[in-house]
């Protein structure tokens, strides 16, 4: 006899579009429950991230009522976890506890019972997790069987639960079977049924009932491309459930908690840092990811495949500095929140602001924007924008309780180099001297908006397949299209530097706009991406002054800051020091980068005289002035480059992988103010003001 725990996990990124969630509801959440509810013998386990469960309770209360009834009948177990679906290992322990408590209360409110176990986000495991989880009242967590295989257990000996601990605080672990995770619903149903029958035949005694858990996304059952037709219209789910019912004497369905109550753990297990195998491959940096793929394909290494682990989830923070910036900004704000909360604000209004800031911080910890694999993730600008919107809302609320300094210095992104934060009541800029003296973040505080929020174009493993005109079919379903809708290979450009603002380009006078578009200026890399030495910081403004050495040992001075008493204006000034050789047959450019998110939206774009061009516009605009308008966030960005002959504008398009295959995504636009070859000084003043 085999006990089968079907564990389905449903999640949507925080602030995802309503129509996207409605599609997931109509194509997977509701039809799966329809099919399962009609089988009285079927018992299963569900997990909904908290904000999604609350969304469903508001939009589809009848659905949540059905969950409550199934739970009361003992047919469904609801799991807990982090309310906003964070990577628990990557956030402070106090945040872990709050995330777990919020989802526990949410599940109990909607279904009538508190969860006993948790869905571990992306199955990201680190060895110190048992203590904070146990302290928060968690009894068990789901991991992948690959976690146990990496720890040295044999594949046939992980059908059950294990006990683990940290600092003497214990936690039960249930391993999800990788074969079932892949087979359901992507392989013919007979394969999974045959697998279950074979395991059952090896354990004929009723008391000897191994547990096979299948834990994966509920969205695979209808929301992924081609899966609705496969799972429901073509009858895959009906045939699978019919076959499962026919195995009633060999396979019984169960909830995880019921199984754990009847069966002791198989032993004590200590797991290494891990996630599911695909995640650990995606986390590898290039070119290690390519080498890993070749190793996995080598038959000679087959006996060691379970030890070819790839990289831990945190490697995404090293692979993508944009993810690291958000993560460390969240940690910094979490520390600030703790300091404010410990002072115990007295008035009701202050307490309300502290509580609201806490909610925004927790929402910003939603995992989706911090990594990239099969889905868009980090490559989706709306997901990054959601993180920054919540971070800046928390920042704004905390600022009303503890006024922030106009200038702050520190290594908040933990890369070994200093960053400098400059701010006024309206704008905030983060300067990175080690990256060409650029600005990595540029915030319009009244709108909780990071107006920069771009993404560097970099190689990904799947780009080679795109060059070969191979498309995506993530579900691996028969008849699904494998040819991409368009040839993406021409869009595979890779940036030499992060897509930051206030970057300096010093290049030959014969370079033209077309060279800029194709990344062919052949600029001085020391000025564009080298380390600029901080010479002076001034609270008046505030302002930071830096110096760098160009080719030929020529020094260039740069100042970034705000022009008091106009807190809505930010300047980037360059000059060659007195007595330095002239720029000669070189041209000077200052690049600004902005991302207003929707490249074709009619309510935003480039203001060129009386004409509003879409954000995706490419072109050379003659003159000193250039402006952007954002009708959604009600702001206007005006750039003035005195003496410049033109602005060269190019959109930033990335090519990434998603559920439906390859897609081209707008990541903002770069605008380069260009000066003639003579002259030794330049300036760009950027003003952000409210748009009526």
What is 84-118 written as a DSSP string?
Answer: T-B-GGGS-HHHHHHHHHHHHHHHHHHHSS--SEE
Among 66-75, 143-152, 489-498, 677-686, the minimum mean pLDDT is found in 677-686
**6, 46, 49, 249, 488 from 9: Cα distances, Å:** 10, 6, 8, 28, 32
pLDDT at 303 over 90: no
Q: What is the pLDDT of residue 50?
A: 98
* H or E segment to which residue 449 belongs: strand 449-450
The torsion angles phi and psi of 533, rounded to 5 degrees, stand at -85, 130
Q: Where are the alpha helices (DSSP H) in 443-532?
A: 463-467, 513-517, 525-529
Peptide bond into 478 cis (omega under 30): no
For 33-153, list the strands marked E by DSSP.
Answer: 44-48, 76-78, 117-118, 140-144
pLDDT bracket for residue 439 (50, 70, 90): very high
Q: What is the pLDDT of residue 524?
A: 94
510 near 586, Cβ under 8 Å? no
DSSP state of 224: S
Q: What is the pLDDT of residue 345?
A: 76
Among 105-119, 128-142, 275-289, 301-315, the minimum mean pLDDT is found in 301-315
10 Å Cβ neighbour count for 342? Answer: 7
Which residue from 506, 507, 567, 517 is spatially nearest to 542, judged by alpha carbons? 567
CA angle, residues 211, 217, 221, in degrees to nearest 5: 100
Q: What is the pLDDT of residue 379?
A: 97
Residues involved in catalysis: 122, 217
Both structure tokens of 339: 């300091």
What average pLDDT does range 336-361 have in this prediction? 93
The torsion angles phi and psi of 97, rounded to 5 degrees, stand at -60, -45
CA angle, residues 653, 657, 662, in degrees to nearest 5: 70
- Decide the pairing of beta strands 681-690 and 569-575: antiparallel
316 near 371, Cβ under 8 Å? yes
Greatest mean pLDDT among 59-73, 285-299, 484-498: 59-73
* 228-238 pLDDT tens trace: 999 999 999 99
Q: What is the pLDDT of residue 93?
A: 97
**138, 406, 622 from 72: Cα distances, Å:** 21, 56, 70
**Candidate CATH numbers 3.40.50.620, 1.10.287.130, 3.20.110.20, 3.20.20.105; the one for domain 2-275:** 3.20.110.20
Mean pLDDT, all residues of the chain: 92
What average pLDDT does range 612-624 have in this prediction? 96
Distance (Å, rounded) from C-alpha 368 to C-alpha 376? 9
668 near 453, Cβ under 8 Å? yes
Query: What residues form DSSP beta bridges with 626?
Result: 639
DSSP state of 501: B
Q: What is the pLDDT of residue 470?
A: 58
Both structure tokens of 30: 């509701």
pLDDT bracket for residue 467 (50, 70, 90): confident
Q: What is the pLDDT of residue 564?
A: 67
Distance (Å, rounded) from C-alpha 619 to C-alpha 165? 60
Q: What is the pLDDT of residue 262?
A: 94
pLDDT bracket for residue 380 (50, 70, 90): very high
Go through 635-670 and write b for each residue having 16 or more CB atoms within 10 A of its CB, e for each that does not: bbbbbbbeebebbbbbbbbbbbbbbbbbbebbbbbb
| Higher local confidence (pLDDT), 502 or 487 | 502
Question: What sign results for the dihedral spanned by CA atoms 257, 262, 266, 267?
Answer: positive
Distance (Å, rounded) from C-alpha 524 to C-alpha 569? 28
What average pLDDT does range 13-22 have in this prediction? 96
What average pLDDT does range 643-665 have in this prediction? 91
What CATH fold (topology level) applies to the domain 418-690?
Answer: Beta-galactosidase; Chain A, domain 5 (2.70.98)
pLDDT at 482 over 60: no
Q: What is the pLDDT of residue 676?
A: 86
Q: What is the pLDDT of residue 466?
A: 80
Q: What share of the chain is helix, strand, coil (3-state, %, to 5)?
A: 35, 25, 35
Q: 385: alpha, beta or left, given left = phi > 0 and alpha = psi -120 to 50?
A: alpha
Q: What is the pLDDT of residue 488?
A: 79
DSSP state letters, 652-690: EEEEEEETTEEEEEEEEEEEEEE--SS-SEEEEEEEEEE
Burial classification of residue 122, based on how many CB atoms lie within 10 Å of its CB (0-12 exposed, 13-18 middle, 19 or more buried): buried
Distance (Å, rounded) from C-alpha 299 to C-alpha 310? 18
pLDDT bracket for residue 307 (50, 70, 90): low
What average pLDDT does range 570-579 have in this prediction? 82
Which residue from 268, 304, 339, 391 is spatially nearest to 15, judged by alpha carbons? 391
Where do we find the tokens 């908006």?
Answer: 449
Give the whole-number percent of the chain exceeding pLDDT 90.
82
Among 324-333, 401-410, 460-469, the minimum mean pLDDT is found in 460-469
**Residues 6+ positions from 553 with CB-CB distance below 8 Å:** none
Among 48-52, 204-208, 219-223, 339-343, the minimum mean pLDDT is found in 204-208
Distance linking the first and last C-alpha atoms of the chain: 69
pLDDT bracket for residue 70 (50, 70, 90): very high
pLDDT at 416 over 70: yes
Go through 358-371 and write b for each residue having 16 or more CB atoms within 10 A of its CB, e for each that does not: bbbbbbbbbbbbbb
251 near 4, Cβ under 8 Å? yes
162 near 266, Cβ under 8 Å? yes
* 515-574 pLDDT tens trace: 999 999 999 999 999 999 999 999 988 999 999 988 776 789 999 999 766 789 999 999
Give the whole-number percent of the chain exceeding pLDDT 70.
94
Q: What is the pLDDT of residue 581?
A: 52
**43, 63, 465 from 37: Cα distances, Å:** 9, 12, 42
DSSP state letters, 271-284: PPSB--HHHHHHTS
Q: What is the pLDDT of residue 531?
A: 96
* H or E segment to which residue 244 belongs: helix 236-246
pLDDT bracket for residue 300 (50, 70, 90): confident
Distance (Å, rounded) from C-alpha 469 to C-alpha 476? 17
360 near 95, Cβ under 8 Å? no
Q: What is the pLDDT of residue 472?
A: 57
Which residue from 11, 268, 258 is spatially nearest to 130, judged by alpha carbons? 268
């Amino acid at each position: 006899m085999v006990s089968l725990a079907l564990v389905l996990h449903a999640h949507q990124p925080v602030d995802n579009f309503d129509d996207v969630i409605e599609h997931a509801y109509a194509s997977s959440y509701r039809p799966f429950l329809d099919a399962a509810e009609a089988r009285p013998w079927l018992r299963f386990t569900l997990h909904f991230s908290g904000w999604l469960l609350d969304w469903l309770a508001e939009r589809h209360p009848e659905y949540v009522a059905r969950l409550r009834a199934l739970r009361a009948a003992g047919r469904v177990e609801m799991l807990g976890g982090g309310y906003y679906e964070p990577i628990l290992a990557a956030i402070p322990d106090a945040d872990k506890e709050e995330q777990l408590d919020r989802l526990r209360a949410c599940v109990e409110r909607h279904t009538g019972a508190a969860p006993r176990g948790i869905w571990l986000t992306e199955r990201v495991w680190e060895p110190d997790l048992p203590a904070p989880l146990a302290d928060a009242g968690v009894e068990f967590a789901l991991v992948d069987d690959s976690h146990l295989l990496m720890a040295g257990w044999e594949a046939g000996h992980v059908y059950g639960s294990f006990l683990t601990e940290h600092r003497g605080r214990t936690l039960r672990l249930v391993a999800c079977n990788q074969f079932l995770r892949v087979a359901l619903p992507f392989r013919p149903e007979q394969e999974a049924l045959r697998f279950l029958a074979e395991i059952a035949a090896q354990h004929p005694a009723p008391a000897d009932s191994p547990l096979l858990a299948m834990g994966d996304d509920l969205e695979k059952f209808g929301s992924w491309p081609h899966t609705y037709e496969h799972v429901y219209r073509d009858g895959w789910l009906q045939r699978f459930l019919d076959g499962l019912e026919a195995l009633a004497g060999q396979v019984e369905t169960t909830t995880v908690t019921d199984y754990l109550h009847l069966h002791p753990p198989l032993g004590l297990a200590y797991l290494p840092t891990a996630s599911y195998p695909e995640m650990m491959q995606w986390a590898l940096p290039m070119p290690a990811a390519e080498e890993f793929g070749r190793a996995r394909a080598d038959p000679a290494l087959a006996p060691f495949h379970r030890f070819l682990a790839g990289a831990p989830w945190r490697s995404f923070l090293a692979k993508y500095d944009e993810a690291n910036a958000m993560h460390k900004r969240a940690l910094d704000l979490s520390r600030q929140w703790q300091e404010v909360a410990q002072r115990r604000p007295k008035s009701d209004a202050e307490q309300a602001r502290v509580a609201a800031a806490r909610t925004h911080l927790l929402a910003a910890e939603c995992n989706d924007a911090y990594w990239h694999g099969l889905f868009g993730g980090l490559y989706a600008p709306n997901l990054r924008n959601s993180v920054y919107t919540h971070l800046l809302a928390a920042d704004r609320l905390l600022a009303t309780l503890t006024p922030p300094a106009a200038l702050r210095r520190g290594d908040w992104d933990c890369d070994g180099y200093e960053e400098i934060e400059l701010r006024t009541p309206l704008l905030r800029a983060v300067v990175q001297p080690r990256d060409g003296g650029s600005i990595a973040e540029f915030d319009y505080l009244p709108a909780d908006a990071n107006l920069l929020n771009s993404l560097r174009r970099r190689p990904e493993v799947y780009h080679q397949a795109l060059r070969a005109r191979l498309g995506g079919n993530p579900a691996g379903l028969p008849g699904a299209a494998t040819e991409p809708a368009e040839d993406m290979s021409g869009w595979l450009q890779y940036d030499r530097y992060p897509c930051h603002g206030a970057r300096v380009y010093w290049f030959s006078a014969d370079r033209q706009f077309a060279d800029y578009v194709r990344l062919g200026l052949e600029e001085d890399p020391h000025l564009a991406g080298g380390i600029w030495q901080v010479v002076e910081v001034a609270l008046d403004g505030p302002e930071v002054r830096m110096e760098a050495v160009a080719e030929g040992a020529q020094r260039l001075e740069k100042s970034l800051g705000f022009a008091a008493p106009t807190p809505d204006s930010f300047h980037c000034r360059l000059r060659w020091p007195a007595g330095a050789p002239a720029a000669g047959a070189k041209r000077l450019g200052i690049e600004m980068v902005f991302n207003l998110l929707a490249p074709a939206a009619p309510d935003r774009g480039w203001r060129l005289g009386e004409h509003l061009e879409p954000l995706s516009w490419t072109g050379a605009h003659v003159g000193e002035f250039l402006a952007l308008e954002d009708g959604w966030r009600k702001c206007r960005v005006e750039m003035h480059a005195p003496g410049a002959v033109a602005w060269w504008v190019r959109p930033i398009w990335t090519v990434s992988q998603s559920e439906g295959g390859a897609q081209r995504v707008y990541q903002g636009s770069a605008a380069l103010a260009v000066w003639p070859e003579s002259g030794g000084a330049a300036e760009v003043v950027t003003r952000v003001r409210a748009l009526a």
